[in-house]
C-alpha cells in the first residue's frame, strides 16, 4: 500500500493529542489535514474528500457523533470510513458509536502502533472497495448502454421506417416490424424492472426497520406453486426447455411476492446458462428447520471465480457467451435472500451443470400465510 496517496482528516479538540496524531501520520507518509471541532471537521470533509477520518467523539461546537451523522447523510461524503477516538470503553458505548456508522473504535489512551494498524486496515479495506466499485462502474458503462440502447435502436429504427415509408411497405413487412418493436419493448421493460427490483432490494437491506413487517410473511409452496410460475415463465420467455418438478409442500418464512421474485430470477439464470433443449430440474430437500429448494440446469456452468465475483452489472465472458440481461438476477436474489436470512448456495461443474440452492427457514406458525397457488395469484 502506497500511503503517500492517502489523505487523512484528523478531528480532535485536544491540541497535544491532535498534534501527536498528525505528526505520527506524517512520519508514516500520509497526507494529513486537521480540525479542532466537529463543525470544522465536517466542512473539511466536504471540501477535501479525505480517504479516512479520525475523530474524537466528545468535542465542542459539534460532537463527533453529530458530525458523523452529517457525513453519512451527505451523498458526497457518505462512504468515507471513520475511526472514533474516545475515553469511553464500555461495550454499549462502542456499540452506540458503531450504530452511528463508525467503522472502528479506539479507546484512549492508545499506543502509536495500535492507531497505525487501525489506519492501515481501514485504508486497505477502502482500497479493495474502491477497486470493486471501479470494476462495477466500468461494467455499468458497458452494460447499461448496451441493455438500453439495443432495444431502443429497434424501437426507433423500425418505427421510423414505418412512419417514413408507410405508403410503400406491404402489410406483411409492417407486421414483421411491429413484432420486432413489440419484442424490443418487452426486453426494455424487463431491463427497467430489474433495475427497479435491485434498487428496492438494496433499500430493504439498508433499512430493515422500516421493512420489518415483510420479514414476518409466510408463504405456502407446493408443486402447484411451481407449475403456475413455470407456466408463466414459458409463456413470457417462449423457452423450449422442459421443467422437471419434484418438490414437497412446505410453509416458509418469506413474503410471497419476494419468493416469486427469487424463483423467477434463478429460473431466468438457469435458462441463460442451459444448453438448448436440456431439462431444468426443480426439487426440494427437507430437514428439521430448513426447506431446501434446488434449481439445476445443464450447460456451460460457472467457474469458481465467476461465482465468487457474481455481482450486479457484471456478466461473465459476454463476448464469448451471448447473454441478455445485465447480471442483476443473482444480485437481486442475494439481497432478498439476505433480508429474509435465506442462505444461497451455488454449485457448478464447468461445462456440465449449475445448481442454485436456497435454504429457507420453515414457518413455525401457520395461522397467517399466503398460498401462491390460489386464484388471487393466478390473476396477477
Interval 207-248: pLDDT, tens: 777 777 777 778 888 899 899 999 988 887 778 889 999 999
Kindly list the distances between the CA atom of residue 100 and the CA atoms of 64, 88, 113, 129, in Å, as whole numbers in the listed order. 10, 15, 26, 20
Give which of 41, 49, 98 is closest to 67, Cα–Cα: 41
Which residue is listed with cell 466542512?
A: 43
Same domain, 96 and 142: no
**Domain assignment present for 282:** yes
Same domain, 313 and 193: no
Same domain, 183 and 283: no
Supply 55's cell numbers. Answer: 475523530
Angstrom distance (rounded) from CA 173 to CA 180: 11
Supply 64's cell numbers. Answer: 463527533
Angstrom distance (rounded) from CA 155 to CA 108: 64
Same domain, 374 and 239: yes
Cα dihedral 77, 79, 81, 87 sign: positive
Contact status, residue 245 vs residue 226, Cβ threshold 8 Å: yes
pLDDT tens digit sequence for 300-310 = 777 666 666 55
Please count the structural domains in the chain: 3
Residue 128, burial from CB neighbour count under 10 angstroms (0-12, 13-18, 19+): exposed
CATH number, residue 49: 3.40.50.2300
**Domain assignment present for 131:** no
**Domain assignment present for 115:** no
Same domain, 202 and 291: no
**Domain assignment present for 95:** yes
Residue 83 pLDDT level (bands cut at 50, 70, 90): very high
Q: Could you count the other beta carbons within 10 Å of the beta carbon of residue 342?
A: 23
Domain range for 163 is 137-206
Give which of 221, 351, 203, 350 is closest to 283, Cα–Cα: 221
Same domain, 256 and 237: yes
Q: Which of 12-21, 95-104, 112-121, 335-344 has the lowest mean pLDDT?
A: 95-104
pLDDT tens digit sequence for 327-350 = 567 778 888 888 888 888 888 887
Contacts of residue 138, Cβ cutoff 8 Å, sequence gap at least 6: none
Same domain, 224 and 334: yes
pLDDT tens digit sequence for 19-67 = 999 999 999 999 999 999 999 999 999 999 999 999 998 898 998 888 9
* pLDDT (0 to 100) of residue 324: 45
pLDDT tens digit sequence for 266-323 = 888 888 878 888 899 999 987 777 899 999 999 877 766 666 655 443 344 434 333 4
CATH number, residue 280: 3.30.565.10
- Is the pLDDT confidence value at 87 over 80? no
Same domain, 258 and 282: yes
- The DSSP secondary-structure symbol of 274 reads B
**Domain assignment present for 84:** yes
**Domain assignment present for 60:** yes
Report the mean per-residue pLDDT for the chain.
79
Boundary of a domain, candidates 61, 92, 110: 110
**Domain assignment present for 246:** yes
Same domain, 230 and 374: yes
End-to-end CA separation in angstroms for the chain: 54
Same domain, 14 and 41: yes
Cα dihedral 190, 195, 201, 204 sign: negative
**Domain assignment present for 130:** no
Same domain, 168 and 246: no
Supply 134's cell numbers. Answer: 471501479
Supply 232's cell numbers. Answer: 408463466
Same domain, 230 and 351: yes
What percent of the chain stands above pLDDT 90? Answer: 24
- Is the pLDDT confidence value at 96 over 80? no
Higher local confidence (pLDDT), 230 or 154 = 230
Q: Whole-model pTM?
A: 0.50
The length of the chain, given as a count of residues: 380
Amino acid at each position: 500500500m502506497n500511503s503517500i496517496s492517502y489523505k487523512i482528516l484528523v478531528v480532535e479538540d485536544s491540541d497535544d493529542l491532535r498534534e501527536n496524531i498528525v505528526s505520527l501520520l506524517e512520519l508514516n507518509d500520509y497526507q494529513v489535514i486537521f480540525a479542532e471541532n466537529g463543525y470544522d471537521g465536517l466542512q473539511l470533509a466536504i471540501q477535501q474528500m479525505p480517504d479516512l477520518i479520525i475523530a474524537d467523539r466528545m468535542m465542542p461546537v459539534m460532537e463527533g457523533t453529530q458530525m458523523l451523522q452529517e457525513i453519512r447523510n451527505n451523498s458526497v461524503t457518505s462512504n468515507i470510513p471513520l475511526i472514533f477516538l474516545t475515553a469511553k470503553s464500555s461495550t454499549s458505548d462502542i456499540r452506540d458509536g458503531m450504530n452511528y456508522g463508525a467503522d472502528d473504535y479506539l479507546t484512549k489512551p492508545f499506543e502509536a502502533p495500535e492507531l497505525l494498524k487501525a489506519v492501515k486496515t481501514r485504508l486497505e479495506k477502502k482500497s479493495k472497495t474502491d477497486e470493486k466499485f471501479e470494476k462495477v462502474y466500468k461494467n455499468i458503462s458497458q452494460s447499461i448502454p448496451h441493455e438500453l440502447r439495443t432495444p431502443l435502436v429497434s424501437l426507433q429504427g423500425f418505427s421510423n421506417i414505418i412512419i417514413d415509408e408507410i405508403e410503400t411497405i406491404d402489410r406483411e413487412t409492417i407486421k414483421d416490424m411491429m413484432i420486432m418493436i413489440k419484442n424490443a419493448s418487452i426486453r426494455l421493460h424487463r431491463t427497467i424492472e430489474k433495475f427497479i427490483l435491485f434498487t428496492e432490494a438494496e433499500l430493504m437491506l439498508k433499512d430493515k426497520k422500516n421493512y420489518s413487517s415483510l420479514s414476518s410473511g409466510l408463504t405456502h409452496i407446493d408443486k402447484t406453486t411451481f407449475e403456475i410460475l413455470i407456466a408463466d415463465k414459458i409463456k413470457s420467455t417462449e423457452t423450449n426447455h422442459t421443467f422437471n418438478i419434484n418438490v414437497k409442500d412446505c410453509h416458509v418464512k418469506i413474503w410471497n411476492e419476494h419468493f416469486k421474485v427469487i424463483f423467477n430470477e434463478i429460473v431466468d439464470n438457469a435458462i441463460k446458462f442451459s444448453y438448448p433443449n436440456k431439462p431444468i430440474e426443480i426439487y426440494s430437500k427437507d430437514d428439521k428447520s430448513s426447506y431446501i429448494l434446488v434449481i439445476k440446469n445443464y450447460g456451460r456452468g460457472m467457474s469458481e471465480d465467476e461465482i465468487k465475483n457474481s455481482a450486479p452489472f457484471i456478466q461473465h465472458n459476454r463476448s464469448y457467451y451471448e447473454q441478455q440481461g445485465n447480471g442483476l438476477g443473482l444480485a437481486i436474489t442475494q439481497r432478498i435472500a439476505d433480508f429474509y436470512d435465506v442462505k444461497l448456495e451455488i454449485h457448478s461443474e464447468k461445462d456440465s451443470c449449475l445448481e442454485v440452492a436456497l435454504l429457507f427457514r420453515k414457518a413455525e406458525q401457520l395461522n397467517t400465510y399466503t398460498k401462491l397457488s390460489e386464484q388471487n395469484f393466478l390473476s396477477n
